[in-house]
Amino acid sequence: MSIKSKVLGKPGHDNSLFIKIDTGQNIIRILLDTGANCLWQLDRNEIANVDHVLYSHFHMDHICGFDSMFRLCFNRPTPLHFWGPKDTIKVIHNRARGYTWNLVDNNPSHFFINEISEGKIRTVRCNLNNGFEELIEIDNKEFENNALFEDSDVKIEGAILDHKIDCMAYAITEKSKENINIEMIHELGLTAGPWCKELKNQLTGKLIIDEKEYEISELRKKVLTSSISKTIGYITDVIYNDQMVKNLKPILEEANEVIMECAYKDEEMNLANKHHHMTASQVSQFAKELNINQLTLFHISDRYPAATRVEFLEKAVSIFPNTRYPDHWNISL
């Protein structure tokens, strides 16, 4: 099992985040925001097979790469799931309808839009065979305990933050798993079969394998290995205050990695507060307070010269040592 993150885009330009979870049996791909000129860093196949697109908000620098993503994802057998704050349904629906769809009769492709607003998650479906014209209501459930999506492999959580508009932060968790150690099975002279599933699902009792009886508890100790769940967080374009920390603590405390914007110099904290962004000392203090393992800075303002990016990193590292920029930015101390 593995979960990997990749910041897309250059420093001082639009950025997005790509997360890939490989469980050994499944691959889950998640894209967070679609900034301009970000997707060139990904293979076309990766984009075409994205499972979830999570939007923080819909200012232009976070969505204007939508077309490059959508042209590879709209026509496929498995549905794409969009997520975002207030107005997500309106924005994505209008985007999808903004093309000419005269060659799609009887095409079963479709996608889902999930909008988190006013304590609810409203879900609608859009079908390609009518040019995505119709919104089909699917659900309108409570938004509780930060929960957005969960299956056997991944859990996606979110929190609504303040950017003068609703802005979503996200936590993506690769869930812990119990896996069969095939080498150990062979050492015991066993052959993998339906009993492996039974072993995972039962803690005690007895199991018959090849006409021989085994104690489940003892066999589990020998052939099962457990992976530890890992969480990656995504925070951008928000004001830093006590409420922001309170909202994020339940989903990001002790996270393995958090990718956070670093838009303003500390000397311009008044501007950061005015425009609802964060400074280097604020994001690093957040990482320290929530005992995060690694902080990755991104979404750097283009209003500063390139040399200022090193100053940002120096300030952040002085408060939270395990801070870095994305590797491909080639910025270090």
Q: Residue 248 to residues 32, 89, 169, 234: CA-CA distances in angstroms?
A: 17, 24, 8, 10
Q: Where are the domains of the chain?
A: 2-176+230-329, 178-226
Q: Domain 2-176+230-329: which CATH class?
A: alpha beta
pLDDT digits 0-9 by tens, 172-220: 999 987 778 888 888 888 888 888 888 878 888 888 888 888 898 888 8
What is the per-residue pLDDT for 295? 98
Q: What's phi and psi for 77, nearest 5 deg?
A: -75, -25
Q: What is the pLDDT of residues 15-30, one digit of tens each?
A: 999 999 998 789 999 9
Q: pLDDT tens digits, residue range 25-74?
A: 899 999 999 999 999 999 999 999 999 999 999 999 999 999 999 999 99
**pLDDT value at residue 197:** 83
Which residues share a beta bridge with 80?
111
pLDDT of residue 185: 87
| pLDDT tens digits, 253-292 | 999 999 999 999 999 999 999 999 999 999 999 999 999 9
- 91-127 as b/e: b if 16+ CB within 10 A: bbbebbeeeebeeeeeeebbbbbbbbbeeebbbbbbb
pLDDT of residue 1: 60
pLDDT given for residue 182 in this prediction: 85
Secondary element (H or E) of residue 280: helix 280-289
* Token output for 114: 């999930």
What pairs with residue 95 in β-bridges?
none
Could you read off the pLDDT of 78-102 as tens digits, one per residue?
A: 999 999 999 999 999 999 999 999 9
Token couple for 83: 């997520």
* Distances in whole angstroms, Cα of residue 196 to Cα of each of 154, 208, 231, 308: 22, 11, 28, 55
Report field, pTM of the whole predicted structure over 0.85: yes
Contact present, 177 and 189 (Cβ < 8 Å): no
Q: How far apart are CA 250 and CA 228, in angstroms?
A: 18
pLDDT of residue 227 exceeding 80: no
Q: Which of 227, 230, 248 minimizes the C-alpha distance to 239?
A: 248
Distances (CA, A) of 1 to 102, 216, 246: 43, 24, 31
Q: In the block, which residue shows the tokens 């990997």?
A: 4
List of residues 6+ apart from 46 with CB closer than 8 A: 18, 20, 29
Q: Which two tokens stand for residue 49?
A: 């097979």
Structure confidence by residue, pLDDT tens digits, 110-167: 999 999 999 999 999 999 999 999 999 999 999 999 999 999 899 999 999 999 999 9
pLDDT at 204: 86
